Amino acid sequence: MGNMSDENTREYVSLAGAAAFPADIHQTCGAGEKKILLATPRGYCAGVDRAVSSVEKALELYGAPVYVRKEIVHNKFVVESLAKRGAIFVSETDEVPHGERVVFSAHGVAPSVYEEAQERNLLTIDATCPLVTKVHKQAKRFAHGEYDILLIGHAGHEEVEGTQGEAPERIQVVNSKEDIENIEVRDPHKVVWISQTTLSVDETEEIVKLLRAKFPHIIDPPSGDICYATHNRQKAVKTIAPQCDVVIVVGSANSSNSVRLVEVALDAGAGRAYRVDKSEEIQEQWLDGAQSVGVTSGASVPELLVRDVVAQLKEYGFTCVESVETVTEDTRFSLPKNLRADLMDVGQSPDRPHKVRATTLSQDA
């Protein structure tokens, strides 16, 4: 592929931040021209950017190995690239040797994981996304108030496990509409729902409606739990989908928000929608008869993978690229406190050198 970056060199390119897209983006393509509609915003969110930068900075500052509990973010390329630089990914903290340094992933961890890390004298860097931490705090507060908490989310997902760990005796996971029938609570006047941050906005609304029908006194979380990045990426793909014969979502199979983008694209009217980890997975027959292909990416996907997909599509004849921007974003999170302090101690700036694409909380987030 002509302008695809070289595999061996780009693994050392910073994974963080969304680099500017090449300049050949048009406002509008000519009639009859086969085109790519690039959904904006897409890719890295502030929480992923912070988490990936935390591992990169830790490797630079303390040297390899740096242990990481679970995938730092759900993206194969990111995880493989960091592993090549010396990050060691483990499933649980008991796999980390005593006294070593471990990074907790963006998805957050249950309190028991912090306790275990303390028992093993591990040096921790907590890269939990602040928006996930916000949901943990809600869970703790409502559990303290003796509420039954209905956590809408995917059972088994790391974020859900972490949130549920805040008050396992008070939290029930609602995976789907079908689960609602069997939910029992202690006091129907003391029920609240909260949610995973990366769900489908529309599907969650439907589940909440059904919960409200069963528990009319159910309380909403003080602010929506589905994060700004999930909202914005779904809104962007919904905008382009009706104009697209095919939508390609770049993202890994275990990335909840990437998988949701495929569903949202189909619901919003895309002819067909596929998820790929990388450009090589695109099958030419997916594009048969297509005039316009939409491209977007999940919140854990570095922009260079999107560039590769666009380059591949150009080779298949989709030569004109239009960017369709629905929301401007400028959210940014600082690195974890102890990492910032260690960076400052050695005279390094705790701010990241790259620029994060401008972002703002969407009004409906």
Q: Which range in 5-13, 40-48, 90-98, 181-189 contacts ligand SF4 by CB under 6 A?
A: 40-48
Where does this chain touch ligand SF4 (CB under 6 A) — which range of 172-180, 222-230, 321-329, 356-364? Answer: 222-230
Surface-to-core class of residue 353, CB atoms within 10 Å of its CB (0-12 exposed, 13-18 middle, 19+ buried): exposed
Q: Do 200 and 230 contact (CB within 8 A), yes or no?
A: no
Among the listed ranges 17-25, 29-37, 124-132, 310-318, the one in contact with ligand SF4 (CB under 6 A) is 124-132
The verdict on 72 binding ligand SF4 (CB under 6 A) reads: no
Q: Are 250 and 309 in contact (CB under 8 A)?
A: yes
- Asked whether position 164 contacts ligand SF4 by CB under 6 A, the answer is no
| Minimum CB–partner distance for residue 48 and ligand SF4 (Å) | 5
From the list 53, 200, 257, 279, which residue makes contact with ligand SF4 (rule: CB under 6 A)? 257
Question: Quick check: is 159 catalytic?
Answer: yes
Q: Residue 175, class by beta-carbon neighbours within 10 Å (0-12 exposed, 13-18 middle, 19+ buried)?
A: middle
Nearest to ligand SF4 of 218, 229 (CB atom) = 229
Of 196 and 292, which has the nearer Cβ to ligand SF4? 196
Please identify, using beta-carbon distances, which residue of 124 and 230 lies nearer to ligand SF4: 230
C-alpha count within 13 angstroms, C-beta hemisphere, residue 121 = 4
Cβ nearer to ligand SF4, comparing 46 with 244: 46
Q: CB of 362 within 8 A of CB of 231?
A: yes
Alpha carbon of 222 to those of 82, 108, 219: distances in Å?
37, 20, 9
Catalytic residue among 158, 159, 166, 322: 159
**Distance (Å, rounded) from C-alpha 6 to C-alpha 149?**
48
Among 17, 41, 43, 47, binds ligand SF4 (CB under 6 A): 47
Does 78 interact with ligand SF4 (rule: CB under 6 A)? Answer: no
Question: Hey, what are 13's tokens?
Answer: 């390119």
Rounding to the nearest 10 degrees, give the CA dihedral for residues 287, 290, 296, 297: -10
The sign one gets for the Cα dihedral 301, 303, 305, 309 is: positive
With CB under 6 A as the rule, give the number of residues binding ligand SF4.
15
Residue 347's CB is within 10 A of a number of other CB atoms, namely 6
User: Does 129 interact with ligand SF4 (rule: CB under 6 A)?
Assistant: yes
- Asked if 336 is part of the footprint of ligand SF4 (rule: CB under 6 A), the reply reads no
Q: Does 299 bind ligand SF4 (CB under 6 A)?
A: yes
Does 131 participate in binding ligand SF4 (rule CB under 6 A)? yes
Active site residues: 159
**Interface with ligand SF4 (CB under 6 A):** 45-48, 106, 129, 131-132, 197-198, 227, 229-230, 257, 299
